[in-house]
Amino acid sequence: MLPNGMQNPPASVQRVPMSSVSFPLGPSPLPSAYLTRLLAIPARSNSKDGLGHAIQLGYPYIHGRFQRGRIMAIFMDRHDLAGTTAADVAEAHRKDLDIQDRYGVKFLTYWFDQRRGTAFCLMDAPDMETAQCVHREAHGFVAGEVVEVSLSAVEAFLGRIHDPETLPGQSSAEMDAGHRAILFTDIVGSTEMTSRLGDRMAIELVRAHDAVVRRCLSQASGREVKHTGDGIMATFTSITAAVDCAIAIQKEFERYNQGNPEPIHIRIGLDCGEPVEDSNDLFGSTVQLAARLCAAASTDQVLVSESIFREYGAADLFTRATRRRLKGFAKPVLIFQCDWTKAGAQQSSSHTA
């Protein structure tokens, strides 16, 4: 029974068969074209590419909960706090927690990137305006941007949806920055492979791909966000780890192909960014660019964005900087190719310097 005697959920919150649900991990029942959008669903019930569309396609309502007869939504906001310390932000979070009950809001956790001067709060609230009222009264740090998000997507990308336990000797102010590198892999020629070898053999090759990629992710502290059917989407807290993982993946497939009659060739794309930027999606433009770079890569290539190139720090590893027009981007995008074949000694020297 729903609150206030409601017999049925609103039209935008219809029940769906749970047997069809595999979000956020595991094989997806959706076509690959939907993945980028649905992983960062903006949760607009009247949006065809947001919550309403996800429900039509068989996904459960996971963005909010009922409280006092209304749906409580999950929001993430972005604060520009240049010059603020981690201790200052930790204290502001504590003040939010002190008065949140007055507004029916629950602050779940936050991330702070002192180098970039940005903070991100995750909260359960009736609406974004009410959430900002808490910030305004508690400390005055009102957010510049607020987006509605899915808890499952936040956990998949960022690894947590609650404040982490403080470890012995660790300050409560030592928080994850929230900045992430996003990596996509894609099996080259998967459609042709399936038609030539048949479904059963093609599935075995996808499983081999998954095993190689997941082993490299584990070694590089990467987190799998989603299986796309022909590849894997992953996230990293470290840009260096993400690039090194991409290199390791390609080298592992090079070794694999030397001893197998049916080789597997893949392409990889990487970008990095903050959870809330200038779009309505969680890591929206970062996910989109990483996916487009993967799609634009040739066989056995690793393509990275300008942001990855600048933050990685080993310029000699990247070649052939070009500007290309990519779907969904108004201006040509500067793309760098990672020459993973010569990575090794260069990698070690750059990381120990």
Range name among 50-54, 86-90, 97-101 with the lowest pLDDT average: 50-54
pLDDT of residue 351: 47
Q: 109: closest CA among 147, 163, 159?
A: 163
**E strand or H helix at 109, and its extent?**
strand 106-113
**E strand or H helix at 235, and its extent?**
strand 232-236
Domains of the chain: 1-6+34-176 (3.30.70.3090), 180-352 (3.30.70.1230)
C-alpha distances in Å from residue 150, one per residue of 63, 76, 282: 5, 10, 9
Predicted TM-score (pTM) of the model is: 0.77
Contact assessment for residue 128 and residue 122, using Cβ atoms and an 8 Å cutoff: no
Contact assessment for residue 335 and residue 301, using Cβ atoms and an 8 Å cutoff: no
For 231-258, what is each residue's pLDDT tens digit?
Answer: 999 999 999 999 999 999 999 999 999 9
C-alpha distances in Å from residue 315, one per residue of 181, 302, 339: 18, 15, 11
Q: How confident is the model at residue 319 (pLDDT cuts 50, 70, 90)?
A: confident
Q: How confident is the model at residue 320 (pLDDT cuts 50, 70, 90)?
A: confident
Q: 60: closest CA among 101, 3, 126, 12?
A: 12
Q: How confident is the model at residue 57 (pLDDT cuts 50, 70, 90)?
A: very low
